[in-house]
Chain A
Amino acid sequence: MIALLTRDLRLALRAGGGFGLGLAFFLIMAVLVPLGVGPQPSTLSLIAPGILWVGALLACLLSLDRIFALDFEDGSLDLLATAPVPLEAVVTIKALAHWLTTSLPLVLISPVLGLLLFLPAEAYLWLILSLLLGTPALSVIGTFGAALTVGLKRGGLLLSLLVLPLYIPTLIFGAEVVSRGAMGLSIGTPLALLAGITAGSVAILPFASALVLRINLR
């Protein structure tokens, strides 16, 4: 399993892995929004939590079809499915690799983008914390979507249609944590609910993804 993780990480980090794509998208998003809504700090700091969360979510979405597509094309997914490691574990490792290569960089760069969007100073801690807690759910849900659409020819667009509705609860609670943090309100409830969604998705969805992957490989 560790070998699989290092293999996936290496594939993603080397040339052609599309490692920086999500990050670049996140950056462009944070640059485009002020250009669209105007440079007033008051407006920007009001919408910054939502923009950062939506940006992270879309950047995450962008790289989902890479989770299984390449392995499906060259047949290594079939090998993984017949390997002694259970497919559920393979799926979990894939989601973890996606989180490490896509979501974690997003979390790390988000304070810089918060600076661009005049995010209030109190909210930085909650931004990082909520993204750290919420992005594993995004990766796991996304892995489920990628497993659903792995064999399809025009899977990319369908993948976003399927996955985005599933992202809604995570987005609501995540953005709520940051905007409440920015206003200095208590953030306990949304933070706990966000953590609950992540814990639930990580616990249950790998089984659904593995089931779906088996159907697709049959």
Chain B
Amino acid sequence: MASVWEYANPLKFMRTTDWLLPAVVVAAVVVTAIGLIWGFFFTPDDFRQGSTVKIIFLHVPAAMMAINAWVMMLVASLIWLIRRHHVSALAAKAAAPVGLVMTLIGLITGAVWGQPMWGTWWAWDPRLTSFLILFLFYLGYIALWSSIEDPDTGADLTAVLCLVGSVFAVLSRYAAIFWNQGLHQGASLSVAPGTRMDWAYKAPLYVSMTGFGLIFLALVLAGTRTEIRARRMKALVARERMA
């Protein structure tokens, strides 16, 4: 009976990702390229925003992945704390820098769009503020990983930090809403009927969101593989020294 837990075995994980990673990389590049080229060159200009609207094809996928990366780290940390699978802890570690960069892309593209549209690079809007706070959480998480030498202790401590941090990140999100009313529009995509966006924009947006998801997957897989190899190297060196 095949189960997802088989991939907690580093050997099995490495063997599967040997062929899976190149496939995901190719898919990520192709899908993102289609999404972005379609979005940038083959969609009409918005009647009010002009061509600046097209930054949405970078902004929304990056922002989505910034949040999803944290959720993935949360799940991976829980799996590590409960079932002690090392691959899971390493995947959480590998996801953090990707999430950090995604948050940064979201903030920067937002600023670039906000300058002509809102007339300001930055506003203390709840959404913008919570993203900045998320950025700080990523920084703290990565800093804690990099300052602990023992890998198991580091995995444990960062996992607990991720759990506690998630609670406080959500709290901060709602505190920020309470604290200031915003400039930022509501959700760009919604499953509710009467959605705001035309399919001419929605279709390429979905494609580039899929592309960003694949990019994230590829980077996390590659990062996890690197971490596993680094662990093996360390074990090899230790063994050499013992002999």
A residues within 8 Å of B by Cβ? 144, 148-149, 151-152, 154-155, 158, 161-162, 164-166, 168-169, 172-173, 176, 189-190, 193, 197, 205, 208, 211-212, 215-216, 218
Contacts and interface: CB of A to CB of B under 8 A. Distances in A.
A169 B161 contact: no
Contacts of B164: 144, 166, 205, 208
Contacts of A215: 153, 156-157, 160
A158 B153 contact: no
18 contacts: A144-B164, A148-B161, A155-B147, A158-B143, A161-B140, A162-B140, A165-B165, A165-B172, A166-B165, A168-B175, A169-B172, A172-B172, A208-B160, A208-B163, A211-B160, A212-B156, A212-B157, A215-B156
Contacts of B153: 151, 215-216, 218
Interface in B144-162: 144, 147-148, 153, 156-157, 160-161
Name B's interface SS. helix
**Contact residues on B (Cβ < 8 Å of other chain), bracket:** 20 to 34
- Which of A161, A164, A216 gathers most chain B CB within 10 Å? A161
Contacts of A166: 164-165, 168
A45 B209 CA distance: 47
Given A152-B148, A168-B172, A197-B171, A212 B160 contact: yes
Contacts of B148: 152
Interface stretch (B12-20, B35-43, B131-139, B228-236): B131-139
Nearest to B179: A172
B165 A158 contact: no
Given A148-B144, A176-B178, A212-B160, A161 B168 contact: no
Given A155-B147, A176-B178, A212-B157, 9 more contacts: A158-B143, A162-B161, A165-B168, A165-B172, A166-B168, A169-B172, A172-B175, A208-B164, A216-B153
Contacts of B160: 148, 208, 211-212, 215
A169 to B, nearest CB: 4
Interface string B115-136: 0000000000000000001001
Contact of A173 (B136, B165, B175): B175
- Which of B139, B165, B172 gathers most chain A CB within 10 Å? B172
Name A's interface SS. helix
Contact of B176 (A148, A154, A161, A172): A172
B229 to A, nearest CB: 26
Contact of A165 (B137, B147, B163): B137
Contacts of B133: 165, 168
Given A165-B137, A208-B160, A215-B153, A158 B175 contact: no
- Which of A193, A215, A216 gathers most chain B CB within 10 Å? A215
Contacts of B172: 165, 168-169, 172
Contacts of B139: 161
B175 A161 contact: no
Contact of A193 (B137, B140, B178): B178
A70 to B, nearest CB: 20
Interface in B36-82: none
A176 B157 CA distance: 33
